[in-house]
Structure 1
Amino acid sequence: MSMNKTERSAVFFEEAKKYIPGGVNSPCRAFLAVKDTPRFIEKANGSYIYDVDGNKYIDYIGSWGPMILGNNNPVVLDAVKEVIENGLSFGAATEKEITMAKLVCELVPSMEMVRMVNSGTEATMSALRTARGYTGRNKFIKFEGCYHGHSDSLLVKAGSGLIANGGAPDSAGVTEGCAKDTLTAIYNDFDSVQKLFEENKDEIAAIIIEPIAANMGVVPPNPNFLKQLREICDVNKTVLIFDEVITGFRIALGGAQEFYGVQPDMTTFGKIIGGGMPVGAYGGKREIMEMVAPCGSVYQAGTLSGNPVAMAAGITQLTYLKEHPEVYTHINKLGTILYEGLAELATDAKVSCRVNHIGSIGSLFFTGKEVTDYTSAKTADIATYGTYFREMLLKGIYFAPAQFEAMFISYAHTEEQIKETLKAAEVCLANL
C-alpha cells in the first residue's frame, strides 16, 4: 500500500503559508523536522486518520494523546452532540463544572481542588504562579528537555518541537528578566537538583517536572528519582508540581503519580480531560488552591474555562475510563508488543536504535546510547528518523513527525494493526 498522493495537501500548505506563519498553527505540524509535506487531515475514526488526498493511515498520534478511546469515539461524540443543543459557551457557571471537578478530584490521588483552563500551557503557567503566590518565592526548577507549554519562563531548554525544528532551545522574545528565575536541572540527575537548592537557599517556590518525560522523546524516571524530589521539596517547603499533560489518565487512571506512588502538591492536565476538546486544568492541595482568585490573591481567569462542551466530552471520557479498567490492560499490552517489537526489528536490522516506552507511550531514538536525559536524547540522528518516518508514512503508518515526540496507542487499536505496523517497520528499518 503506497501513499504517494499528496497533491491536495501540498496545495493547501502553499495557500496556508500566505496567511499563517509557516502554514501551520503549531510548529510540529509543518513536517520540517522530517523534511516532508504535512498531510492535511480531513477526518479520523477509531485508530485511523484520513487526509484530503484520500490516504488512510494507522494513527499513532491521537491528537497528541487525548484520544485514548480512539478517534471520534461514539460515546464522547454523543455527549457533545447532546450538549451543543443548549449553546456552545455561556461565560458563566454550570453544573457540569462541578461534576468534572468532583470526578478529577476523585480519580487523582493528590487533588483536593481543581481549576479548569483551556490548554496545558495555561495550566502550567497558572500552577507556577499559584506556587509562587503560596510560597512567596520567585525561583523554580525545571528540567532540561521537559516541555511545559510556551509561556515565557518555561521556554528554557524546553525540548519538544524546539529541538526537532533545529531552533535554539530558548525562544526569541523571552526576556532575560523573565527567564532569570528559571533554574534548570538535569532529568534523572538528583545531584543537579540538590546543587540548585544549595545555591538558592529558601528561594525556590517550586519544582515542575513531567513525571515521565515525553517531549525529548519518552524518557521514564530512574527508580526513586520522583521520591527524591518529593523529599527535597518537603525539606525545603517547596511545591512539587507534576505536569501530567501527557501522562494524566493515560499511564494509569490516576496518572503517573498513581503509577509511581508519589504524590505531588500540584498537578497540571491538558487535552485528555476534554476528550480532545481544547481544555486543561491545574489543581492540588486545598491550602494551595485557595490562593487562587476569587478565594485568594493569585489572579487567573478565562472566558472559555469550564466550557460546557469541553466539560461534557471530558466527563464522558473520564467516566468511561473509570468504569472500564480493561482500556488500560488493552493499550498497555499493545504497547509492549509494538515497542518491544520495534526494538527487536532494529537489532535484527543492525540499526543503532533505542526504544523507550512505558505503557501505551513510546519513542524510537536513532542512537547507540541509552536515553535517560536531554543530553543523551540529543544524540539521536534526526535525519535517520526523517527517512524512517517518510517510509512508514508511505506504508500508511502515521507516527510523530519529529524525533522527539511520543507515540500513543488507543483503545481502538488492534493486535492486527500492531502486526501490520511491525511488518512495515521491518522493511523500513532494513532499508536504513
Structure 2
Amino acid sequence: MIDSWPTSARLWDRAKSSLPGGVSTGMRASMRPHPLFFRGGRGPVLTDVDGNDYLDYVLGWGPVVLGHGHPGLTEAVTRRLPDGATFGAGHELEYLAAEAVLDALPGMERVLWSNTGSEADQIALRLARAATGRNRFVKMTGHYHGWSDAFLLGYRPDADGRLDRAGTRGQNPAALSDVSLAPWGDLDAVGTILRDPAQDVAALFVEPVLCNSGVIAPPDGYLAGLRSLCDETGTLLVFDEVITGFRVARGGAAELYGVQPDLIVLAKALAGGYPVAAVAGRAAVLDQSLHGVVHAGTYNGNPIVLAAVKATVEALSEPGIYPAFETNGRRLADGMRAALERYDVTAAVNQVGPVVQVLPGLDRCDTFTQFLAGDQQWYDVLTVEMLRRGLFTLPGGRWYLSTAHSQADVDTTVDAFADSVSATVGTNGLPRGTLQDVG
C-alpha cells in the first residue's frame, strides 16, 4: 500500500515555479491527489520517482497502445535517430507510413500528416470547406475535436449548465458562429440541420464512439444514418478517430461499424506514444491541398515520428491483437461490474474494445446527458485508493488497455479495484453504496 508520494510532491512544487500549475497540459492538473512524476516504464508498468510501480491504464492519455518501451517501436525510432530529426524535405517514410495506414483503412486514398489531433481536425474542416464551397459545420454535444476556437463548444456545460457557449476563457466568440450543435444519437435533429439550406453545412464531425464522454457505442443504425444524411445533402462526414483509430479495430470504428466516412482524423494510437496525427480520406478532398488550401507545419511528416507510425501500425497488424483487446477489455469491465455489485455501489461500466469507462451513480449510460449526471466526486476518491494499490488511472473514469496488458494483469487490476471500492464506500461511517464525496 502506497501512503504518500513525497518526491513527486517536491518536484511538482519546483515545477510550479516555471510551468503554469506545474504541468505541461492543463488536464494533468486534475490528477489526484496531485500530479505524479515518473522516471520510466516497461510494458504495462510505470515507475514513479518515489520508486512505486503501477499497472498503467492512463497510457499517456491513450497513445501508448503497445505499452512502454515496446522493442519493435523502440528499435525503429532508435535506428532513425542518428540520421537527423527532420529535413524540411521528402523522405521515404512519408509514403511508406502512409501506405501502411491506407492499407488498414479501406476506401481511404490519401493521408495528410500533422502533429496533433487539434491540428488535424482544423485542416479537415478547411479541406471540407474547400471541397464543398460551404462554410458551416455540425458537431455533437459531448464530442471533443481539440481545443481550437472553432471546435471547443458543446463539450462540457458552463457554470450555468449551457453547452452553446465558449468552452474556455480567451476563446474568440465569433468562431462559434460557424457551428451548429446536435444531440448525439438523434438522427432527426441532424437531418433538420443538414436539410436547411440556410445552414450551409460543409461537414459533420462526429466521434463514432463517444469515447470522450462515457465510451458510448453508437445506437444501432446511427452511423449509417449519418452517412445517408450526408450523402443526401452533399455534406462531408468526418469521423474523429483520434481515440478509436487503430484501437477498437485495425481499421478503427469505420471498420468496426461498417460505415465509411469521407475523412478520418487519427492521432493517439497511431504512433505508440510519439507526437503525430493524420487525416485520411478521399483523394478529391485531400488533394484540395494542391489547389489553394494552405496546410503547413514544420514538423509534419518528420522521419522520427513516421518511423514510429510504421512500426506501430505493423505491430498492430499482427494476428490476434484485436480479439485480445476485446477479451481483455470485456474481462476488465465484467470484473469491475462484479466488484461494484458486491459492494452495492451503483455504477455503469461501458466498454468498446480496449477502452473502458466507469460511471458512478448511474444504472446505465447511453447518452451524454446521463454521462453528465455521474458522481465524479466519488470517483476522485476511488482514483486515489486505486493509486495506493498500484493502479495508475485517469480522472473521469476512462481506462485504456495496451497490447502489453495480460489477462493476469487484468485479474490483478480487478482485485485491486475491488479493494479500492471497498475502502472508499466504507470510510467515514457512510453506508455502503452511498455515492458522495468521502474524502
TM-score normalized by the length of structure 1 = 0.94
Distance 1:203 1:252, change over 3 A: same
Partner of 1:274: 271
TM superposition shift of 1:66: 2.3
Q: SS in structure 2 opposite 1:58? A: strand
Q: Take 1:127 and 1:330, find their aligned partners in 2: how far apart are those partners?
A: 32
Question: 1:229 is matched with which residue: 226, 230, 246?
Answer: 226
Q: SS in structure 1 opposite 2:238? A: strand
Question: 1:211 is matched with which residue: 186, 208, 211?
Answer: 208
Q: Map of 1:15-94 to 2, 5 A cutoff?
A: 15-31=14-30, 34=32, 36-94=33-91
TM superposition shift of 1:136: 1.2
Q: Which moved more, 1:268-277 or 1:280-289?
A: 268-277
Q: Take 1:70 and 1:262, find their aligned partners in 2: how far apart are those partners?
A: 29
Q: Cα deviations across residues 201-242 of structure 1 (Å, max 9, x unaligned)?
A: 461110001101111131111111100100000000000000
Identical aligned residues as a percent: 34
- Structure scoring higher RCO (CA < 8 A, sep ≥ 6) equals 1
| 1:408 equivalent in alignment to 2:391 | no
Q: Take 2:245 and 2:54, find their aligned partners in 1: how far apart are those partners?
A: 26
TM superposition shift of 1:199: 4.3
| 1:302 equivalent in alignment to 2:301 | no
| 1:315 equivalent in alignment to 2:323 | no
Do the aligned residues in 1 keep the contact of 2:347 with 2:364 (CA within 8 Å)? no
Do the aligned residues in 2 keep the contact of 1:29 with 1:401 (CA within 8 Å)? no
TM superposition shift of 1:169: 6.9
Q: Take 2:341 and 2:197, find their aligned partners in 1: how far apart are those partners?
A: 45
Question: 1:425 is matched with which residue: 381, 397, 417?
Answer: 417
Partner of 1:333: 327
Question: 1:252 is matched with which residue: 249, 253, 276?
Answer: 249
Q: Take 1:207 and 1:115, find their aligned partners in 2: how far apart are those partners?
A: 19
Q: Map of 1:381-396 to 2, 5 A cutoff?
A: 381-396=375-390
TM superposition shift of 1:200: 5.0
Q: Cα deviations across residues 30-63 of structure 1 (Å, max 9, x unaligned)?
A: 135x4x1111111111000111111110001212
Q: Take 1:106 and 1:420, find their aligned partners in 2: how far apart are those partners?
A: 36
Q: Take 1:300 and 1:349, find their aligned partners in 2: how far apart are those partners?
A: 54
Letter in 1 for 2:340: A
Distance 1:251 1:159, change over 3 A: farther
Distance 1:169 1:411, change over 3 A: farther
Partner of 2:337: 343
TM superposition shift of 1:425: 1.4
Letter in 1 for 2:351: H
Distance 1:283 1:38, change over 3 A: same
Letter in 2 for 1:27: G
TM-score normalized by the length of structure 2 = 0.92
Partner of 1:12: 11
Question: 1:263 is matched with which residue: 260, 265, 268?
Answer: 260
Q: Cα deviations across residues 322-360 of structure 1 (Å, max 9, x unaligned)?
A: 2x1212122211111101110121122111100011111
Do the aligned residues in 2 keep the contact of 1:159 with 1:169 (CA within 8 Å)? no
> Stretches of 4+ moved more than 6 A in 1?
none
Letter in 2 for 1:416: A
TM superposition shift of 1:426: 1.3
Partner of 1:112: 109
TM superposition shift of 1:21: 1.6
**Which sections of structure 2, spanning at least 5 residues, go unmatched?**
426-439
Letter in 2 for 1:354: A
Do the aligned residues in 2 keep the contact of 1:158 with 1:169 (CA within 8 Å)? no
Q: Cα deviations across residues 136-159 of structure 1 (Å, max 9, x unaligned)?
A: 111111111111111111100224
Q: Cα deviations across residues 383-420 of structure 1 (Å, max 9, x unaligned)?
A: 001011110010001111234xx311111111111111
Q: Take 1:346 and 1:191, find their aligned partners in 2: how far apart are those partners?
A: 36
Q: SS in structure 1 opposite 2:150? A: helix
TM superposition shift of 1:264: 0.1
Question: 2:359 is matched with which residue: 355, 361, 365?
Answer: 365
Partner of 2:98: 101
Q: SS in structure 1 opposite 2:174? A: helix
Q: SS in structure 2 opposite 1:75? A: helix
Partner of 1:287: 284
Partner of 1:379: 373
Q: SS in structure 2 opposite 1:44? A: strand
Q: Take 2:310 and 2:98, find their aligned partners in 1: how far apart are those partners?
A: 9
Q: Cα deviations across residues 67-110 of structure 1 (Å, max 9, x unaligned)?
A: 22211101100111110011111121111101011111111123
Aligned residues: 420
Q: Take 1:427 and 1:123, find their aligned partners in 2: how far apart are those partners?
A: 41
Partner of 1:147: 144
Letter in 2 for 1:410: S
Q: SS in structure 1 opposite 2:280? A: strand
Q: SS in structure 1 opposite 2:16? A: helix
Q: Take 1:371 and 1:72, find their aligned partners in 2: how far apart are those partners?
A: 35
Q: Take 1:378 and 1:272, find their aligned partners in 2: how far apart are those partners?
A: 26
Do the aligned residues in 2 keep the contact of 1:159 with 1:216 (CA within 8 Å)? no
